[in-house]
Amino acid sequence: MENSRLLSLDVMRGITIAGMILVNNPGDWAHVYAPLEHAHWNGFTPTDMVFPFFMFMMGISAYFSLRKYDFTWNRACVWKIAKRTVVIFCIGLALNGLSLAMFGGLEWERWRILGVLQRLALAYGFASLAALSIPHKYLLHTAVLLLVVHSVLLLGSHSLELTPDSLVAVIDRVVLGESHLYRDVMADGTVIAFDPEGLLGVLSSVAHVLIGMWVGKMILSQRKRHEVIVLNLFVLGSLLLICGLLLNYAIPVNKKIWSSTFVLVTCGFGSLLLALLMYDIDIRKRKRWTRFFETFGVNPLYLYVQAELLARLIAYWGWGDLVMQEVLIPLLGDYPASLAWALLFVFVNWIPGHFLYKRHLYIKI
């Protein structure tokens, strides 16, 4: 079964990308509804689901893609993995540099190296190489092993708190340098160098992608038996979610350190959402509502990067503040106006995406 034969996969990717654009672009960061904010440290909100959902879906798509090469270490396959990894990482790095140039001057010492796209690139690259190297019946076992190692490192170094002494922060400072890291705020208000897309989290992120690959393997193995796939997804999602919530008492669900429980919970929810979408779209054939999200789903990386570029340009030119202060806030009030701007921004990005979708133009790396 190819990726294109399951509309639900494109729709879930589209929901995820639209969600990422929505939560990243409120009209006013001081007036954001609670479900659209990230958890400050432990716990999770609906907003904390969108990035890991995309990583989960990336694992499924990567499995479909690598299947074309029979998961062998041939030149074409390795080149595809390496090129995609480097290009995605460099796009993320360039976006960070653009922000720096627009709002503070382009100085290498202040250039943040890591970020969302960089995390995606590294997780994809390592997980794909793992898929070429191990028997696929052990994909889930490998993911569990990585999560155990990540958890042991965090627990053994007392790194479950947001502090500069956390192993997460120490590794990034030693390898990348403090000036190249994101700044976060501790409970007492102290600002520290702590990157939520740090290097240690790559370990558990690779596990995240491998779980997605396991789901991709499960989908392909069942071919056209959609009902069986949906049942298996419900079982897998429920097991992952239960394990994650139970283990939360020992290792808190935490996006910023990408804890093992965060991986289990988000992959659990991701599996359940995919099962619901497959049941509604691929089995019940209810497709009329899917077109908007399908547009985002067929060109996900392009539309995410487009939104990031457009957001920076709007902020640089001051258009967002102008529309908020002169139109939306007087008309709607603070919180509704902030949400209205975010929804409007999603729609604006959808327009060129739909142009590409209608002409069957797919921008791939």
Q: Which of 69-73, 100-104, 173-177, 314-318 has the lowest mean pLDDT?
A: 100-104
Query: What is the C-alpha to C-alpha distance for residues 304 and 224, in angstroms, rounded to an integer?
Result: 31
pLDDT tens column, 191-218: 999 999 999 999 999 999 999 999 999 9
Instruction: Quote the pLDDT of residue 105.
Output: 73
* Band of residue 353 on the pLDDT scale cut at 50, 70, 90: very high
Instruction: Quote the pLDDT of residue 140.
Output: 95
Which amino acid type is present at position 236? Answer: L
Residue 2 has pLDDT above 70, yes or no: no
Query: What is the C-alpha to C-alpha distance for residues 237 and 232, in angstroms, rounded to an integer?
Result: 8
Q: DSSP letters along 43-100, please?
A: S--THHHHHHHHHHHHHHHHHHHHHTTTT---HHHHHHHHHHHHHHHHHHHHHHHHHH
- Prediction pTM value: 0.94
Residue 306 has pLDDT above 50, yes or no: yes
Short-list 223, 205, 212, 320, CA closest to 263: 205
pLDDT tens column, 125-162: 999 999 999 999 999 999 999 999 999 999 999 999 99
Residue 100 has pLDDT above 90, yes or no: no
Query: What is the C-alpha to C-alpha distance for residues 13 and 54, in angstroms, rounded to an integer?
Result: 6
Where are the extended beta strands (E) located within 131-204?
Answer: 183-185, 191-193
Calculate mean pLDDT across residues 351-359.
94
pLDDT tens column, 228-272: 999 999 999 999 999 999 999 999 999 999 999 999 999 999 999
Nearest-5° angle of CA 87, CA 198, CA 261? 110
Query: What is the C-alpha to C-alpha distance for residues 86 and 198, in angstroms, rounded to an integer?
Result: 17
* Band of residue 5 on the pLDDT scale cut at 50, 70, 90: low
Strands 191-193 and 183-185: antiparallel
CB 353 within 8 A of CB 314: no
Going from the C-alpha of 222 to that of each of 2, 215, 216, the distances in angstroms are 12, 11, 10
CB 101 within 8 A of CB 39: no
Which amino acid type is present at position 71? Answer: F
Domain ranges of the chain: 7-37+288-365
Calculate mean pLDDT across residues 175-183.
93
183: which strand partners?
193
Q: Helix/strand/coil (H, E, C) string of 210-274?
A: HHHHHHHHHHHHHCCCHHHHHHHHHHHHHHHHHHHHHHCCCCCCECCCCCHHHHHHHHHHHHHHH
Instruction: Quote the pLDDT of residue 107.
Output: 80
pLDDT tens column, 40-99: 999 999 999 999 999 999 999 999 999 999 999 999 999 999 999 999 999 999 999 998
